Amino acid sequence: MSDFLAAAVQLTSTSQPEVNFSAAEEQIELAARRGAELIGLPENFAFMGADEERLELSATLAERCSQFLVTMARRYQVALLGGGYPVPYGDGHRTLNRADLIGKDGQLLARYDKIHLFDVDLPEGNTYRESSTIVSGEDMPPVVEVPGLCRIGLSICYDVRFPELYRHLVDKGAELLMIPAAFTAFTGKDHWQVLLQARAIENTAYVLAPAQTGLHYGRRHSHGHSMVIDPWGTVLADAGVAPGAAIAPLNTSHVCRIREQMPCLKHRKLSLF
C-alpha cells in the first residue's frame, strides 16, 4: 500500500522562459513544502507563445527543460512530471510535444511524445492547428512504476478526448492517469471536468491534471482548474483559476477497493470480439 500527497501545478506561462521556469520552481517548492511527493507541471510549462518563436527556441528549450526537471526533482526530492515541452523534429520546421517523468534521484522514468494533435475551429473564432508545427508521437504512452508511489500512465491534454488511450494505460497497470494540459477556456468550461471525471470513473483510477490558466498571449486563454480526482470520480482538489496547485492524498489501496466494488474492468466484453 502506498499513501502519498500529489500536486497538480497550475501556471500562466508566457513567451518568456526565464519567467516561466521561476514560476514553476516557486510552485514546486510550495508543493514540496506541503509534503507532495509527486508533482505535475502543465503542458507548455516553459513556453506559451507564437508558433514561430517556439520553433526558433525549441532546441534551447528542449535542453533547458530536460535539465530543469532533473534539477528540480533532485533539489526538492520529488517525482516530477514536465507536462509538455518542445523538442526539435528532424525536418527543422516542426517539434514534438514531450512529457518527461523524473524520479527523486533525477533519473528519467518515462517519456511520452503527444500523439493526438489539436486541429480545431472553435465557434468563438479561434483556430488551432497543432499539426502545422507539431509532429505526432509514434509510440503509445507508457506506464511506469514510480518507486514508493504507484503505477503511472502518461498522456497530454487533447489525449483526454480519446478514451481508448486510457484503456490501454489501465491494461498496462496504471493506477494514476496524468493529464497535463493547456485546455482552452472556451472548451474547458463545458468539457474539462466532465472528461477528467469520466476518465477516472470508467478506468477506476486516480487522475492528476495540471493545467494552464488565464491569458497568455494574443487571444490564447486557458481554462485553469487543475484537478486531482479519485477512482470514484470525486474531485479531491481544484486549483480554481489562479496560479497555484491542486494537492490531495492518493492511496493505491483505495484503487483496489473501488475496483472490487465496481469491477467494470473485469466485465468488459468487447475484447471477445
Q: Report the distance separating Cα 41 and Cα 216, nearest Å.
A: 16
Determine the angle formed by the axes of helices 185-203 and 163-171, rounding to 10 degrees: 30
pLDDT over 70 (residue 271) = no
Mean pLDDT of 141-155: 97
Q: Is 260 buried (19+), middle (13-18) or exposed (0-12) by CB count in 10 A? A: exposed
The answer to whether the CB of 134 falls within 8 A of the CB of 94 is yes
Q: Which is it for strands 3-11 and 36-41: parallel, antiparallel or unpaired?
A: parallel
> Could you say which DSSP state residue 157 is in?
G
Q: What is the mean pLDDT of residues 221-241?
A: 97
Find the mean pLDDT for residues 169-185. Answer: 97
- Is 43 catalytic? The answer is yes
Cα dihedral sign for 221, 213, 24, 157? negative
In angstroms, rounded to a whole number, what is the distance separating the alpha carbons of residues 26 and 63?
A: 20
Which residue in the list 104, 114, 130, 150 is annotated as catalytic?
Answer: 114
pLDDT tens digits, one per residue of 121-142: 877 767 889 998 999 999 999 9
d(CA 226, CA 246): 6
For residue range 65-90, what is the model confidence (pLDDT) as tens digits? 999 999 999 999 999 999 999 999 98
Mean pLDDT score across all residues of the chain: 95
AA letter at 47 = F
Residue 231 CB-half CA count within 13 A:
23
Q: How far apart are CA 17 and CA 209, in angstroms?
A: 22
- Residue 1 pLDDT grade (very low, low, confident, very high; cuts 50, 70, 90): very low
Catalytic residue among 37, 65, 150, 157: 157
Domain range 3-272, CATH class: alpha beta
Domain residue extents for the chain: 3-272
Check whether 96 has a pLDDT greater than 70.
yes
Q: What is the pLDDT of residues 182-226, one digit of tens each?
A: 999 999 999 999 999 999 999 999 999 999 999 988 778 999 999
Q: Running DSSP on this structure, what letter comes out for residue 129?
A: E
pLDDT at residue 123, rounded to an integer: 79
Give the active site residue among 43, 65, 104, 130: 43
